């Protein structure tokens, strides 16, 4: 079982890495859904840090996107440099960082903050997408679709070098779960790097239990621990309507809980983030409540 006791919840209300605004409201919504109370009920020592200061207005978006003009590059890079320092500090105090996003571009900073502490981390990336685009392959220029690539040392130099360590993770210890919408360049990258990507087709055929057994072996064997990056759009939109890039046919409620319960039971998880909860698009805070419940399962909550 997980030995996690001290949790630092870091809210990052940032949405400039995404194409649709609103995910900056996600951290507050997840807290309002009872996350802190849920975690304290598990006997965990929880501190909720002050919301992370992020840029919100006065943004100049490039009129023409080029390789050197990704959307909101300055703001995304600056935010993630500060986030990396914050995560580094949490781990330095011997605490478990739980980062609430915000869009998935914040994973660049989370992993940059982890890198000095976990020299060889494993990563389990729950997502309908793979976030393996680079400036050359991205159809949109939105950096939330490039965060995993940046952590692997691929992409724009300003993103790749955040935190001063590159690459931050290794493809052979990286697992994607729940993918069902991949761009052509991402498919080629998954094949060329040898990243294990469990698509929804494989989850359907194998079952989530077997998928997680394999994922835990890939990300956990011979590593210094596992970082869990949970994009809420890995869930089926019927369960999680409040997200900006929904794709039909995602993880069910019980599949997601089972996956995170197995991660908790492994005792290997050292850090986590949940991202892309967009209250503007949600129904009765359903998606935020789901995010709070899922993080409860990751951190020890059980049915019995």
Q: Which residues are catalytic?
A: 104, 127, 129, 131, 144, 231, 233, 276
Strand (E) positions, the chain?
Answer: 6-12, 45-48, 96-101, 122-126, 174-179, 196-199, 226-231, 269-275
3-state SS, residue 54: coil
According to DSSP, residue 234 is labeled: G
Annotated binding residues for Mn(2+): 104, 127, 129, 131, 231, 233
Torsional sign, CA 16, 21, 23, 25: positive
Determine phi and psi for 46, rounding to 5 degrees: -115, 130
Rounded distance, CA 107 to CA 230, Å?
A: 10
How big, in percent rounded to 5, are the helix, strand and coil portions of the chain?
Answer: 40, 15, 40
The Cα–Cα gap between 167 and 171 comes to: 10
Contacts of 185 (CB under 8 A, 6+ apart): 132, 133, 134, 136, 137, 138
d(CA 90, CA 113) in angstroms, rounded, equals 9
b/e 101-122 (16+ beta carbons within 10 angstroms → b): bbbbbbbbbbbbbbbbbbeebb
CA neighbor of 83 nearest in space, from 56, 51, 123: 51
Residue 55 burial (10 A CB sphere; 0-12, 13-18, 19+): middle
| CA distances (Å), origin 151, targets 34, 53, 156, 210 | 31, 23, 11, 27
**Cα within 13 Å of Cα(6), Cβ side:** 7
């Amino acid at each position: 079982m997980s030995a996690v006791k001290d949790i630092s919840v870091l809210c990052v209300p940032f949405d400039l890495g995404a194409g649709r605004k609103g995910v900056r409201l996600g951290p507050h919504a997840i807290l309002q859904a009872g996350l802190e109370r849920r975690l304290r009920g598990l006997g965990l020592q929880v501190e909720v840090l002050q919301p992370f200061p992020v840029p919100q207005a006065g943004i100049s978006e490039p009129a023409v996107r080029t390789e050197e003009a990704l959307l909101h590059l300055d703001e995304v890079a600056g935010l993630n440099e500060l986030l990396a320092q914050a995560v580094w500090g949490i781990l330095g105090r011997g605490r478990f960082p739980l980062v609430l996003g915000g869009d998935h571009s914040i994973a660049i900073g989370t992993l940059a903050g982890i890198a000095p502490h976990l020299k060889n981390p494993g990563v389990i990336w729950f997502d309908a997408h793979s976030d393996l685009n680079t400036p050359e392959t991205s159809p949109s220029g939105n950096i939330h679709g490039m965060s995993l690539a940046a952590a692997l040392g691929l992409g724009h130099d300003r993103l790749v070098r955040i935190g001063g360590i590159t690459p931050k993770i290794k493809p052979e210890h990286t697992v994607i779960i729940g993918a069902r919408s991949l761009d052509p360049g991402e498919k080629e990258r998954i094949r060329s790097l040898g990243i294990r990507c469990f698509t929804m087709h494989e989850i359907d055929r194998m079952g989530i239990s077997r998928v997680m057994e394999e994922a835990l072996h890939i990300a956990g064997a011979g590593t210094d621990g596992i970082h869990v990056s949970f994009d809420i759009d890995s869930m089926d939109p019927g369960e999680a309507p409040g997200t900006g890039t929904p794709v039909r046919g995602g993880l069910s409620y019980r599949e997601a809980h089972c996956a995170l319960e197995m991660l908790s039971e492994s005792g290997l998880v050292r850090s986590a983030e949940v991202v892309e909860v967009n209250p503007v698009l949600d129904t009765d805070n359903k998606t935020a409540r789901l995010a709070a419940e899922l993080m409860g399962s990751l951190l020890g909550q059980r049915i019995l």
